Amino acid sequence: MKDLYQNTLKKIANSSNGIKTISSITAIVAGLLVGLIIMLIANPAGAFPGFLTILAGGFNSGLRSMGDTLYYGVPIILTGLSVAFAFRTGLFNIGATGQLTVGAFAAVYIGYNWTFLGPVHWIVALIGGMLAGAVWGAIPGLLKAYRNVHEVVATIMLNYIGMYLVRLLILTFIYNSDSNEAHSPAPSARLPELFLDDIFPRSSANIGIFIAILAVIVIHIILNKTTFGYELKSVGFNRSAAKYAGMNEKRNIVFSMTIAGSLAGLAGAVLFLVAGKNMEPVNVLLQEGFTGIAIALLGLSAPIGVFLAGIFYGSLQQGGYYLQTFDFEPQIIDIIISVIIYFAALSLFMQRFVADFISRQINKDVEIAEGNDSA
Partner 1 sequence: MSVFLNQLYFLVPLFIASAVPLAVVALGGLFSERSGVINIALEGIMIMGGFVGIMFIRYLENATDLPMQLIAFFGLLVGLITGVVFAVAHAFASINMKANQIISATALNLFAPAVAIFTARMLWQTDRVVISGNYRISSIPLLGDIPVIGPMFFQSTYLSTFIGIALFIGATIVLYKTRLGLRLRSCGENPHAADSLGVNVLKMRYVGVLISGAMAGMGGVIFVLSFATRFDANVAGFGFLALAVMIFGQWKPKRIVLAALFFATMRVIGSAYSGIEFLSDLSIPADIYRMLPYVATLIVLAFASKYSQAPAAAGEPYDVGKR
Partner 2 sequence: MTNKEKNSDNYVIEMEHITKEFPGIKANDDITLRLKKGEIHALLGENGAGKSTLMSVLFGLYQAEKGQIKVRGEVTRINNPNDATRLGIGMVHQHFKLVEPFTVMENIILGYEDVENGLLTYDKAYEKIMDLSNQYNLKVDPHAKIEDISVGQQQRVEILKMLYRDADILIFDEPTAVLTPQEIEELIKIMKSLAKEGKSIILITHKLEEIHASSDRCTILRRGQHIDTVDVKSTTSEELAEKMVGRKVSFGVDKKKAKPGETVLKTENLSVYNPLTDQDVVRDISLDIKRGEIFCVAGIEGNGQSQLVYGLTGLSPLSKGRIYLNGEDVTDKSIRARSQAGMSHIPEDRQKHGLILEFTLENNLILQSYQSDTFSRHGFLKFDAIREHAEELIDTYDIRSSQGPVSVVRSMSGGNQQKAIVGREIDRGNDLIIAVQPTRGLDVGAIEYIHKQLIAERDAGKAVLLISLELDEVMNLSDRIMVMYEGENVGEFEGGNVTENELGLYMSGAKRRDQS
Q: Indicate the SS3 state at residue 181.
A: strand
User: By CB under 8 A, which span of 9-17, 188-196, 345-353, 363-371 interacts with partner 1?
Assistant: 345-353
Between 122 and 326, whose beta carbon lies closer to partner 1? 326
Options 19-27, 35-43, 147-155, 237-245: segment touching partner 2 (CB under 8 A) = 237-245
CA 242 distance to own-chain centroid: 28
Binding partner 1 by CB under 8 A: which of 274, 339, 355, 358?
Answer: 339
Candidates 286, 293, 298, 366: give the one binding partner 1 (CB under 8 A): 293
To 10 degrees, what angle do helices 62-88 and 208-225 make?
A: 30
Q: Using CB under 8 A, which of 243, 335, 359, 362 touches partner 2?
A: 243
In the DSSP assignment, the letter for residue 189 is: G
Q: Are 39 and 329 in contact (CB under 8 A)?
A: no
Q: Are strands 175-176 and 181-182 parallel, antiparallel or unpaired?
A: antiparallel
To the nearest 10°, the Cα dihedral for 79, 83, 84, 85?
A: 100
Three-state secondary-structure class, residue 172: helix
User: Which of 128, 122, 126 minimizes the C-alpha distance to 190?
Assistant: 122
Residue 228 interacting with partner 2 (CB under 8 A): yes
CB atoms within 10 A of CB 363: 7
Using rule CB under 8 A, residue 148 touches partner 2: no
Q: Which stretch binds partner 1 (CB under 8 A): 10-18, 49-57, 216-224, 286-294?
A: 286-294
* 331-370 positions binding partner 2, by CB under 8 A: 367, 369-370
Rounded CA-CA distance 267/77 in Å is: 8
- Burial label for 110, CB within 10 Å (0-12, 13-18, 19+), is buried
CA distance 268 to 185: 13
Q: Rounded distance, CA 265 to CA 253, Å?
A: 18
Q: Tell me: does residue 167 bind partner 1 (CB under 8 A).
A: yes
Q: Does the footprint of partner 2 cover residue 245 (CB under 8 A)?
A: yes
Closer CB to partner 2, 64 or 243, in the complex: 243
Residues 253, 91 contacting (CB under 8 angstroms): yes
- DSSP letter for 191, please: P
324 is a site residue for partner 1 (CB under 8 A) = no
**Least distance in angstroms from the C-beta of 87 to partner 2:** 13
76 touches partner 1 (CB under 8 A): no
List the single partner that 234 binds among partner 1, partner 2, none, CB under 5 to 8 Å by kind: partner 2
- Whether 111 and 122 have beta carbons less than 8 Å apart is answered as yes
DSSP 27-47: HHHHHHHHHHHHHHHH-HHHH
Contact flag: residue 242 with partner 2 (CB under 8 A): yes
334: partner contacted, choices partner 1, partner 2, none (Cβ within 5-8 A by kind): partner 1
- Residue 154 as a binder of partner 1 (CB under 8 A): the answer is yes
Q: How distant, in Å, are the alpha carbons of 126, 129, 218 from that of 262?
A: 10, 8, 13
- The interface mask with partner 1, positions 13-42, x = CB under 8 A, is -------------------------x---x
Residue among 213, 34, 186 nearest 119 (CA): 186
CB of 277: closest distance to partner 2 in angstroms? 38
Exactly one of 225, 251, 277, 360 binds partner 2 (CB under 8 A); which one? Answer: 225
In residues, how long is the chain? 375
**What stretch of H or E contains 153?**
helix 151-173
Q: Which does 243 bind (CB under 5 to 8 A by kind): partner 2, partner 1, none?
A: partner 2
Answer with the entry of partner 1, partner 2, none that 237 interacts with (C-beta below 5 to 8 A by kind).
Answer: partner 2
Q: Which is nearer to partner 2, 145 or 174 (CB)?
A: 145
Per-residue contact string for residues 83-102; x = within reach of partner 1 by CB under 8 A: ---------x-x--------
**Residue 165: partners with Cβ closer than 8 Å, 6 or more residues away:** 102
What residues make contact with partner 1 under the rule CB under 8 A? 38, 42-43, 92, 94, 143, 147-150, 152-154, 156-158, 160-161, 164-165, 167-168, 171-172, 283-284, 290, 293-294, 297, 328-329, 331-332, 334-335, 337-339, 341-342, 344-349
What residues make contact with partner 2 under the rule CB under 8 A? 225-228, 230-231, 233-234, 237-238, 240-248, 367, 369-373, 375
